[in-house]
Structure 1
Amino acid sequence: MSIHPSGTGVLAHDIEVPQGFSCRVVARSGQPIGGTSWHPAPDGGACFADGDGWIYVSNSDVPLAGGASAIRFGPDGEVKDAYRILAGTSLNHTGVVTPWDSWLSCEDIFLGRVHEADPHGDRTAVAREAMGRFKHGHLAVDADRRVVYLTESEPDGCLYRFTPWTWGDLSHGLLEVLCANGASVEWRSVPDPAPGFLDVPTRYQTDTAVRFEGGGACHYAEGVCRFVTADGTWVYDAAQETLYRWSGPDEDLGGDILVTDLGDWLEIDLVAAGETTAVVRVEGHRDSEITGVAFSPDGSRLYFSSQRGTHGDSRDGVTFEVTGPFRH
């Protein structure tokens, strides 16, 4: 899924988009929407099909009262409802959609957990402690091998792999950490995936664990798991079981990708054929960042948030929708 820009020039709600595109504000932190109040610091997000409409899910990256909320849209894009799908958690930063259409939400705190939530709000969210208690950076689902990769948001964090005993049930399984084995790498089981406050953290339980500086965004596609750290982007080739640094934009990523830019202004950029083009520009939000980028299931609408809005405050978050001739 990618954008085919036709030149910027339309400015509305602090957002500049290409000609032929339009933008609207969907929700603002602290203001009512549907049956709830939209959460502060909107972060990781995703869309789910919902009959003839769809649902947009968003995490809340604030301490103690984080969690996640959802907005239900009708077939014409009208807001039909909004509701909490996860509460009682802290600093819910990123998340990922599972193949069985649940939302995995990560806590970016010491001994943080992964929670599995129902975007439709019909089932109570559940903590998946077998997936590890540590400061979660991000995760990615590898449906080919039926595993989930997890990064760790620590200066000496690790890369983990969770294999559920039954695919589709994350309540039990094996948590492993990527380890060095001479010039190659291998996975070794974590002795205690859910340590307590006085126990040895997961990243220190295996002597040969490979260390990364601040594990962040993680993505799996076509046999390869890419993850971002403070010292660059790393690639784990699951088929070859090799680890290396990403060489840069000349390497084939297998298609067009969208990236967010925190330069002089906030942008969503399209990277295609080695070239980068700005397709959304957010003006006047210099102390914020773009989060929760996701397309509606039919690819006609792009959702994202300015996490701290124009005032640089988590209580000033804004969630937007951009509609236009997207290429997919």
Structure 2
Amino acid sequence: MATLTTGGSNRRSFLRRGPSGVDRFAIAAMEGLAARAAAARDGERDRVRSGGYGALREVVRSDAVSGREQTMWLPEGFDFAVFSAAGSAMRDGGSVPASHGGMACFPTGRRGEWRLVRGHGERGRPGAGSPSGSPEGRYDALGAGGTTTLGIVWRDGEPHFEEAWQSLSGVVGSGAGGPTPWGSWLAAEATCAGTGAGWGAAHGYVFEVPSAEDGEAEALPLKSMGRFAHGDVAVDPRSGTVYLAEDQPTAGCYRFVPEVPGDLAEGGRLQMLKVAGEWNVDTRVNQRPERGVYVEWVDVAEPDPAAAEDDPLAVFNQGWARGAAVFGRLTGCFYADGAVYLAAVSGGDEGEGQLWEYRPRGHGGGTLKLVFESPDASLLSFPQGMAVSPGGSLILCEDTGRGLPALRGMTREGEVFAFAKVAGGDLGGAVFSPDGKVLFANLWGADDPGRTVAIWGPWSAGAL
């Protein structure tokens, strides 16, 4: 299979790239989300019931390897495939780890060939699970998490799963992360566990995984990017600055300013967001949508504190002591249309979630704006991930605990509709192929440690 070049030329040239057409449309979707929230507060309900796709119908498909059946409800003309379930054999002789999480889809340089780099949030107890990867490649000999890379080919009008292999091993709770503009995945650990809890190494770091790697990448912890419970990661392609979310009820928003843009291993400065002129602003409650505030960034003196295992807020507290702001459990983080978007899944007066927009201005600060706050769970509750569709709308991974988990579409006018529903498990990790033909997502649940689905069909027939 052809590989994607991710050498020095790519790292140097990524800063010159402009935003994609999808990114340019993203802001319209965000504005529609805010408009929908305002309408819901005024008592209006959704006018769009299907996004133009019509009624959902039941589709049943089986994983060719495990034989396990999966049921989804999709619009007419759409189909799906299920593959690469936890425990399935991989090309390198290992087994697919459990707890499928976030992922990104990268081109290989050949038309219709892609690579998915997929995170696995395996935690467990030291030695309780099967360690991932090869003994010589593991960061921690006891760690069962990491990433896998999947080869996908579009052929005969549908995507075909070809092979999978371990691309990062020996880490813990690495279901979150984000793609870089130079073709790699930043795998982020959502735990600060370490040797005191019986692990073979300290955890709570970010690791870089090139999508072009045909085997295991070097498991190098990027310690200057902070040791805390990480959520997703986003990279500003104009500056190379990395934005990091913190997956805790008491969370900070961080940025990492690299010494060499595109080469994160060279180190840099970790900083935490602070509202300019105000001290320790609590963004979780009493916030007004669309009211932008100017923010600045305060340095975190010790991004890898020795006390982090015993105190998971050891990094947060450094920024807090300098007046930084607090958010409610930041799990989502992505870049679009010149801004960074942060999903605070427990934020808001109703505790049903917020979406924040940070728009950088130069190298100093920027503006922070609350784009959306869910007024009630019936509109939207705790999205576990989101993706911008080829048409500039949003796909939201939602599991409210009331009925079937769903992939919900959101139009640029802010109307929400159920695009797909799934029997059993949670949904997350949604991402489109680079050409917009296929939507990939991950499923997992109490009786199912994880699998990946691919959905395709007439996207242009509706709002997505």
Taking structure 2 as the reference length, what is the TM-score of the superposition? 0.64
Cα separation, partners in 2 of 1:81 and 1:165, compared to 1, 3 Å? same
Q: Partner of 2:316 in structure 1?
A: 203
Residue in structure 1 matching 2:407, options 259, 268, 272: 268
Q: Shift of the alpha carbon at 1:42? A: 0.5
Equivalent residue letter for 1:268: L
Q: Secondary structure at 1:130's aligned position in 2?
A: helix
Q: Shift of the alpha carbon at 1:10? A: 4.2
Q: Shift of the alpha carbon at 1:188? A: 1.3
1:105 and 1:4 map into 2 onto residues whose CA distance is 36
Bigger Rg, which one: 2
- In the TM superposition, structure 1's runs of 4+ consecutive aligned residues that sit over 6 Å from their partners are none
Taking structure 1 as the reference length, what is the TM-score of the superposition? 0.89
Cα separation, partners in 2 of 1:242 and 1:79, compared to 1, 3 Å? closer
Cα separation, partners in 2 of 1:198 and 1:87, compared to 1, 3 Å? closer
Q: Shift of the alpha carbon at 1:79? A: 2.8
- Aligned partners of 2:177 and 2:231 also within 8 Å: no
Q: Partner of 1:235 in structure 2?
A: 357
Q: Shift of the alpha carbon at 1:198? A: 6.3
Q: Shift of the alpha carbon at 1:257? A: 0.8
Q: Partner of 2:151 in structure 1?
A: 72
Q: Shift of the alpha carbon at 1:180? A: 3.5
Cα separation, partners in 2 of 1:154 and 1:78, compared to 1, 3 Å? closer
Q: Which runs of 5+ in 2 are unaligned?
A: 1-21, 27-50, 61-69, 124-142, 193-202, 279-293, 348-352, 375-387
Fraction of identical pairs, as percent: 29
1:221 and 1:323 map into 2 onto residues whose CA distance is 23
Residue in structure 2 matching 1:29, options 86, 89, 96: 86
Alignment of 1:51-200 (within 5 A): 51-52=110-111, 53-63=113-123, 64-76=143-155, 77-110=159-192, 112-122=204-214, 123-171=217-265, 172-183=267-278, 184-197=294-307
- Aligned partners of 1:84 and 1:121 also within 8 Å: no
Q: Which runs of 5+ in 1 are unaligned?
A: none
- Aligned partners of 2:178 and 2:334 also within 8 Å: no
Choose between structure 1 and 2: higher strand proportion: 1
- Aligned partners of 1:10 and 1:21 also within 8 Å: no
- Aligned partners of 1:43 and 1:305 also within 8 Å: yes
How many residues in Structure 1 have an aligned counterpart in Structure 2? 319
Q: Shift of the alpha carbon at 1:242? A: 2.5
- Aligned partners of 2:227 and 2:308 also within 8 Å: no
Q: Shift of the alpha carbon at 1:139? A: 1.4
Choose between structure 1 and 2: higher helix proportion: 2
Q: Does residue 59 of structure 2 align to residue 11 of structure 1?
A: yes
